[in-house]
Amino acid sequence: MLMEKMISSADEGQTCSPLAGPGSGPHNRGAVGFVLVHAGAGYHSESKAKEYKHVCKRACLRAVDRLRAGALAVEAVTAALVELEDSPFTNAGTGSNLNLSGEIECDASIMDGKSLHYGAVGALSGIKNPVLVARRLLSEAQKGKLSAGRIPPCLTPTRIKPIIKISVAEFSLSAYRRNKRKMEVAERVEAECYQTKRARQAAENVSLKCRTCGIVSPPLDCGENRSACLDTVGAIVVDQEGNVAAAVSSGGLAMKHPGRVGQAAHYGCGCWAQNAGNAVPYSTAVSTSGCGEHLVRTMLARECSTAMQAEDAHQALLEAMQTKFISSPFLVTEDCVLGGVIVLRCCKCVEDQTSQEDAHTLVEFLWSHTTESMCIGYMSAQDSKAKTHISRLPPGTVAGHSLAIEGGVCRLGNKTI
């Protein structure tokens, strides 16, 4: 099943046309740039829709502020991620899920499309903004080799000594306590099921599926006041020079094993950014979200970037999500495949070859997900405010087997439409 919509929904009934200009309320005619963010693919309740949209708005504004100041894509995308990590409503940074030991461990990565360098951290604890550590690794890699010709690391999966004590979000702590009780009950019931039929009958309403008796129960949750089990947050940016950058950050799965590293830290899985080059006609940027193991095994970020070099971006992303993800041969044993992506591609366009005054950057941006919903926000440097949207699967479709895809087009530069 599939839902397609090339007209992007926005707040309070606003819409973005399939070929939209920088916005109805220009803020700075001289500024150029664009940002697209997401607050996770999963399930977003209607009761908390306002909070999720507000988080995305703030992230867009942080990135656009940097673009208006002349910053490059890497700096702008970092600013967006810091804002997303600082929110208690997202599964990243402050609001991260807790692992099996009741601790916060985060993954994050960032990629610069100009240099193609990448920095990432995995299972990181004691750091409020993991993306800043990933950014530091990226910056060090761009400086070249270390002393004695050593190659600088691009990924550090480590549990370092905490620099600061991070306050655990109440949502995460409440969910941890409930999930811990569910797991304790499930483990006890499973042990009893091996011994007597009476124990199986007494456990008919207990949580999780027992390998012996087949009892099925509700899944773990991620917070009574937070939409359950959201994953990685992310952002993608194009700057005034046409450079692209992408970043992701995640607290990982609720009740994960300590030391587990998800797609947010894996190369080609959490994010991807690549400027146009000799054999690459379009600059592309991608950020993913969803079940980390599914995204790692399919390297979805890089697959989507490669697909976006086709002539029809919308059709290319649709086919990539269907063939490289939902129907991937690497996921044939999975009952459902859960994930989402935000992507953009851009190219320089000159309508009058005799004058550079008509030069502009054409940005095509899209999002797609197999989860029940995905919250996104986007904004150009000339917009007066960000647009946000919670994309949902159509009624009657099943998460993990269906997908939604939406998007739009933005023209940046001297000539607007």
Residue 76 φ then ψ, to 5°: -65, -45
| Angle, helices 73-85/130-142, rounded to nearest 10 degrees | 160
Q: Which amino acid is at 328?
A: S
CA distance 319 to 314: 9
Residue 257's CB is within 10 A of a number of other CB atoms, namely 12
Q: Tell me the Ramachandran region of residue 208: left when phi exceeds 0, alpha when psi lies from -120 to 50, beta otherwise.
A: left
Number of C-alpha atoms within 13 angstroms, CB side, residue 134? 40
What three-state secondary structure class fits 235? strand
Concerning whether 232 is annotated as a catalytic residue, the answer is yes
Of the candidates 90, 232, 284, 388, the residue annotated as catalytic is 232
Which residue from 178, 86, 73, 191 is spatially nearest to 129, judged by alpha carbons?
Answer: 86
Provide the 8-state DSSP code for 323. Answer: I
What is the DSSP annotation of 6-24?
SSEE-GGG-EE-TTB-S-S
Residue 406's CB is within 10 A of a number of other CB atoms, namely 22
What three-state secondary structure class fits 305? helix
Q: Tell me the Ramachandran region of residue 284: left when phi exceeds 0, alpha when psi lies from -120 to 50, beta otherwise.
A: beta
Residue 196 token pair: 């007597």
Residue 81 token pair: 């991620």
Which residue from 121, 74, 127 is spatially nearest to 96, judged by alpha carbons?
Answer: 127
| Angle, helices 300-307/313-321, rounded to nearest 10 degrees | 150
On the 0-12 / 13-18 / 19+ scale of CB atoms within 10 A, 395 is exposed
Distance of CA 101 to the CA centre of its chain: 25
Strands (E), 254-385: 271-274, 283-290, 339-350, 359-369, 373-380
CA distance 306 to 109: 19
> Which residues are part of the catalytic machinery?
232
